[in-house]
Amino acid sequence: MPEKLIIGVTDCSKYPNYARWMLAHGDNIELLQLSYKTNNIEDVKKCHGIVLTGGEDVHPRFYNKPELYKYCYEDDISEARDEFEWKLLEYTEANAVPVLGICRGLQIGNVFFGGTLIPDIPRWGKFNHAKLVDDSDRYHSIHVDPASWLFGLIGEQTGIINSNHHQSADLIGEGLIVSALSPDGVIEALDRKEPAGKSFLCLIQWHPERMENQLSNFVQPLRNAFVKACEEK
């Protein structure tokens, strides 16, 4: 195990939330901010693990559906960020680096593996999963597949998670499988279909870094498992 774990965390407007959450795990963690703004892509080589954070919509051209652009939040798209994080995923897959993808992290991850996105959940006939009118997170129940890899980490088939997103996974990427759903069928987590012998990859739609209950099984076990995988890298 390395003396100091270097965790790369992708840049976003809420970066301090992710930084606090990761550093709360223990003193052996050092963070490295990976940013498309500075294009410090080479710094990924220093990292024992990567956290893909939330933020902008993924541009539909990355999943070959540019016609869906009109359903995106046009002021909230960064193709430069998409391209930067695509390169990160190329590196993590090629070098077996653990990845924890949160919210947008799930979405760019699914697209990277060949999947597509629902560009605006309410327009596709589902309940709104975005923040409430007072700017706070929405909370709803979740169902975890008891046969999934994720269930092995969480140990619960149902629970309550927070929610603040208007896009979600649609067609699932190659080698991935759905491990959790909201009651209305929105995909809340993706696992590797065959995780044995492959690097840690946990893609979740909720925000554990700002859940009200930090002792929830939908928070602590995920960070613990991710850090453990980084230690073993």
Number of domains the chain is built from = 1
Per-residue pLDDT of the chain (233 residues; tens, 9 = 90+): 677 899 999 999 999 999 999 999 999 999 999 999 999 999 999 999 999 999 999 999 999 999 999 999 877 899 999 999 999 999 999 999 999 999 999 999 999 999 999 999 999 999 999 999 898 999 999 999 999 999 999 999 999 999 999 999 999 999 999 999 999 999 999 999 999 999 999 999 999 999 999 999 999 999 999 999 999 98
SS3 74: helix
Predicted confidence at residue 74, as pLDDT, reads 75
Do 140 and 181 contact (CB within 8 A), yes or no? no
Q: What sign for the dihedral angle of Cα 69, 71, 73, 75?
A: positive
Q: Of 104, 204, 99, 88, nearest to 154 (Cα)?
A: 204
Selected catalytic residue, list 12, 59, 207, 230: 207
Active site residue 103: yes
**Domain interval for residue 197:** 5-232
Residue 140 is given by DSSP the state E
Q: Of 114, 139, 108, 136, nearest to 204 (Cα)?
A: 108
The CATH number of residue 182's host domain is: 3.40.50.880
Selected catalytic residue, list 56, 85, 188, 209: 209
Q: Of 127, 192, 190, nearest to 163 (Cα)?
A: 127
Selected catalytic residue, list 12, 72, 103, 202: 103
Give the burial class of 53: count Cβ atoms within 10 A of its Cβ; 0-12 exposed, 13-18 middle, 19 or more buried. Answer: buried
Active site residue 72: no
Q: pTM for the full model?
A: 0.97
Half-sphere exposure of 50 (CA within 13 A, CB side): 31
Active site residue 207: yes
d(CA 174, CA 178): 12
